[in-house]
């Protein structure tokens, strides 16, 4: 975008569980992104930064003021994203934001428009789109191979949060409402929106059946879309890991199952069928979609390739998230947007 070349120089903002994962994958992507400074107020980050030879500051503003920082990667609590994006844009920095972009449609529109008007790239931490079999599934849907898309069934659940300290922001119902929605479910709604377009309404069941997690540990949502079709999405926080995404069309269907959490990917099992053909099952080897998403963001910053996730998709997904949170509280059907 700016005519610059070489790796995009970034500030890694937040060195919690996921921020450290992102630093690790970027070690193998230095030709595309170079982490020049990390921002983390927790003193425990000092040892990690020394190990990875990273400059460290506790001040986000200090990182934004650096001339060698072109972009920020935000791996911070959800409630901070809107303000941090606004400050980054004011400083002329591109933004890669972990999900969710915002907690309301209004906040998402503001973030997308700020970046667009400033000519800055906005990237999103929806690495599911960059998993090879998911990318193939989206392409099959886009080129008509699956026919008219009718329905999505998806589940992305784990029990990783059961061992967290109760003070962790991920266990704050105001920060991360509606069960596992902001942790995992939002990836599934992103894919559903890519396949079926903007959502029309949603009804959610959110319960606490097996833990003391404040936002609930068992969540399912039934979504209807303006263009027709529906999606069932489940995001549970009290069951062993499962990640399954299935799309059904008039000419065929595809189901993608992860063998392991994206934190340490181990490949996928893909089951599919087309009209007049038997069901097939194949395995896809490991890949690193977290890295590939960040690299795609870097390419978009440099202007060598468009970014796969549009601003409209980002806004539509947060509009659905906002409705899901409302429906989780009421148990009623809630219109989206």
Q: List the CATH number of the domain containing 59.
A: 3.40.50.720
Q: Are residues 141 and 108 in the same domain?
A: no
Q: Are residues 74 and 181 in the same domain?
A: no
Q: What is the pLDDT of residues 127-163, one digit of tens each?
A: 999 999 999 999 999 999 999 999 999 999 999 999 9
Q: Are residues 115 and 182 in the same domain?
A: no
Whether 35 maps to a domain, the answer reads: yes
Region 231-248 average pLDDT: 98
Q: Are residues 40 and 158 in the same domain?
A: no
Count structural domains, the chain: 2
- The whole-angstrom separation of Cα 79 and Cα 176 is 9
Q: Are residues 50 and 83 in the same domain?
A: yes
Q: Are residues 52 and 12 in the same domain?
A: yes
Task: State the residue range of the domain holding 265.
Answer: 128-335
Position 184 scores a pLDDT of 97
Whether 3 maps to a domain, the answer reads: no
Q: Are residues 90 and 176 in the same domain?
A: no
What's the mean per-residue pLDDT of the chain?
96
Position 192 scores a pLDDT of 98
pTM: 0.96
Domain boundary among the residues 90, 106, 126 is at 126
Region 217-244 average pLDDT: 98
Q: Residue 102 — very low, low, confident or very high, per pLDDT cuts 50/70/90?
A: very high
**Residue for token digits 């919690």?**
16
**295 — alpha (psi -120 to 50), left (phi > 0) or beta?**
alpha
Domain boundary among the residues 126, 157, 186 is at 126
Domain boundary among the residues 62, 96, 126 is at 126
Q: What is the pLDDT of residues 266-302, one digit of tens each?
A: 999 999 999 999 999 999 999 999 999 999 999 999 9
Position 5 scores a pLDDT of 85
Q: Are residues 113 and 86 in the same domain?
A: yes
Q: Are residues 280 and 165 in the same domain?
A: yes
Position 2 scores a pLDDT of 55
Q: Residue 28 — very low, low, confident or very high, per pLDDT cuts 50/70/90?
A: confident
Residue 94 has pLDDT above 60, yes or no: yes
Q: Which CATH number characterizes residue 225's domain?
A: 3.30.360.10
Q: Are residues 121 and 135 in the same domain?
A: no
Q: What is the pLDDT of residues 326-336, one digit of tens each?
A: 999 999 999 99
Q: Are residues 117 and 152 in the same domain?
A: no
Position 15 scores a pLDDT of 96
Cβ-in-10-Å burial (0-12, 13-18, 19+) of 212 comes to: exposed
Q: Are residues 116 and 164 in the same domain?
A: no
Whether 260 maps to a domain, the answer reads: yes
Residue 3 has pLDDT above 80, yes or no: no
Q: What is the pLDDT of residues 187-226, one digit of tens each?
A: 999 999 999 999 999 999 999 999 999 999 999 999 999 9
């Amino acid at each position: 975008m700016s005519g610059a070349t070489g790796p995009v120089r970034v500030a890694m903002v937040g060195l919690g569980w996921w921020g450290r994962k992102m630093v690790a994958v970027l070690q193998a992507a230095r030709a595309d992104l170079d982490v020049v400074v990390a921002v983390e107020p927790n003193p425990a980050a000092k040892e990690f930064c020394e190990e990875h030879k990273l400059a460290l500051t506790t001040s986000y503003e200090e990182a934004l003021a650096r001339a060698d920082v072109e972009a920020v990667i935000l791996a911070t609590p959800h409630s901070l994203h809107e303000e941090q994006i606004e400050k980054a844009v004011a400083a002329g920095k591109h933004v890669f934001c972990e999900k969710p972009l915002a907690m309301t449609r209004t906040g998402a529109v503001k973030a997308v428009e700020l970046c667009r008007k400033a000519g800055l790239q906005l990237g999103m931490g929806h690495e599911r789109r960059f998993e090879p079999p998911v990318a193939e599934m989206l392409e099959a849907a886009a080129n008509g191979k699956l026919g008219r898309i009718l329905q999505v069934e998806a589940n992305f659940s784990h029990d990783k949060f059961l061992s967290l300290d109760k003070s962790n922001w991920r266990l704050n119902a105001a920060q991360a409402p509606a069960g596992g929605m902001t942790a995992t479910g939002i990836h599934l709604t992103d894919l559903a929106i890519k396949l079926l377009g903007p959502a029309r309404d949603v009804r959610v069941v959110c319960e606490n059946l097996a833990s003391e997690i404040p936002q609930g540990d068992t969540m399912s949502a039934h979504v209807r879309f303006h263009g027709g079709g529906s999606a069932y999405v489940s995001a549970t926080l009290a069951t062993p890991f499962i990640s399954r995404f299935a799309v059904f069309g008039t000419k065929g269907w595809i189901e993608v199952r992860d063998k392991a959490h994206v934190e340490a990917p181990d490949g996928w099992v893909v089951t599919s069928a087309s009209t007049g053909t038997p069901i097939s099952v194949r395995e896809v080897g490991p890949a690193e979609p977290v890295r590939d998403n960040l690299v795609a963001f870097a390419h978009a910053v440099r202007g060598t390739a468009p970014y796969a996730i549009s601003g409209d998709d980002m806004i539509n997904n947060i509009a659905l998230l906002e409705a899901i949170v409302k429906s989780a509280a009421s148990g009623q059907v809630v219109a989206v947007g």
